Amino acid sequence: MLGGKAAAGLISLIYVVAAARILGPEQYGVLVLVNYFAMLVGGLIAFPGWHAIVRYGVQPAENDHAKLIRLLRFVGAIELAAGLVAVIVAAIAVPIVGPLLGWSQDAQALAIPYCFAVLATVRATPGGYLQILRRFDLLALHNIVTPVMRLLGTLVVIAFDLGLTAFLVAWLVAALVEGISLWVAAIYLARRHMLDEPLLGAVADARREHDGLGRFMLTANADIMLGDLTGRLTPLIVGAMLGPAAAGLYSIAHRATIVISQPAQILGQAAYAELARLAADGRARIAIRHALARCVGIALATALPLVLLLALFSREVAVLIGGSAYAGAATVMIWLTLARVVAMAGPPTSAALIALGHPGLSVGGNLVAGLGLLPLLPFFTGSAGLAGAGYLALLQAVIAAALLGSALWRVTARAS
């Protein structure tokens, strides 16, 4: 999975370089703001359930396929319904949000159909099922679907000398393929894995069979939403405060540094099933500390070369990606690099807390460090410009790591 994420990062870098150079900071800023807006609405309304699938589906996957199918139908139906609502809400909100972010009338007209990109986020149910089957190879392959599709779209843009509209179409197509492809893979495997049960059928309330399922889904979903919300709101606030061009510069810095955090995110997701198994054995809970330390250590070792590169050559990296027009992204890139390093402990620690049955502690830590500090962003950007976004990111990472780490230490100390 780390290999798949690394490949996705490299491919992403290619199409970002092309888009940034072809569009320039302002139009590139509009492109990323439209995408962040759609993903923000999707994150707020969509209802991913992969945590619930993994937590409640491991045992039925082995000896009770009927029970597993009922769980998958229930969680999947909720996720699909919430995704459709998110598309509608995003389209309605475009004329309200667009002027605040400096979008032209043409950009707003393009943003409305782009709201269907929200459907890229409606894939947690099949993702959770693949985790149960331990098909991390397919999950790794899925990581490169969007980058490959965006790269193909970029090649079309270059070949026919197209502009912003074509990039939005290419990114929309990539988002739809990203969502659909994982459902196709899960359905194919489910037909082979559960030959004794039909996949389609009535949707029953699975909460009757799984104690605490509804509460767990609400809490775990809140944790996911809060974890993503800060990252999606930040560029929108930057765009509203400093304009689309500044959002374009921030996006370049964000894109260059996000590769650092991806190993921790993917390890946290991949390790969740194993952490859940350790948590099920009360005597083994103390081992979660050691498993978590290994996860963070692997993530740090994987990211170390990139950290050194970005810390020492931030201006050169910014210019290499977007050209001389993006040199102003160098300062914020340094601060974002430091923040990404500190934040690497977050995803695995959150996964451990959820596996131990304390998703509320993860939610609380992310809420305080993320949304709790986000109102400071206008002050930081107003006083320090674009670099202020980097200052706040580092402060958020330090507080989140401290809160999540102390919470896990207390929980595992009680368990031991």
**180: enclosing H helix or E strand:** helix 164-193
Token digits of residue 92: 């309605």
Decide if 109 contacts 169 (C-beta within 8 A). no
- pLDDT for the residue numbered 414: 64
pTM of the predicted structure, to 2 decimals: 0.82
Q: Closest Cα partner for 299 from 351, 341, 337, 355?
A: 341
Question: How many residues can be counted in the chain?
Answer: 416
Instruction: Report how far residue 256's alpha carbon sits from residue 402's, in angstroms, rounded to the nearest whole number.
Output: 25
**Burial bucket for residue 301 (CB in 10 Å: 0-12, 13-18, 19+):** exposed
- pLDDT for the residue numbered 268: 63
Task: Considering only the C-alpha atoms of the chain, give the largest distance between any 2 of them, rounded to a whole number of Å.
Answer: 63
Tell me the pLDDT tens digit for each residue of 240-262.
999 999 999 999 999 888 777 76
pLDDT along the chain (416 residues), means of 10: 71 91 95 95 85 85 86 92 95 95 91 94 91 89 93 95 94 95 93 80 85 84 76 93 96 85 65 69 68 78 81 91 94 91 82 79 85 94 96 94 89 69
Instruction: Report how far residue 244's alpha carbon sits from residue 237's, in angstroms, rounded to the nearest whole number.
Output: 10
- pLDDT for the residue numbered 83: 94
Token digits of residue 343: 């934040």
- pLDDT for the residue numbered 117: 95
- pLDDT for the residue numbered 230: 83
Q: Closest Cα partner for 389 from 282, 253, 212?
A: 253
What's the DSSP call for residue 149? Answer: H
What is the number of alpha carbons within 13 Å of residue 163 lying toward its C-beta? 9
- N- to C-terminal Cα separation, the chain: 31
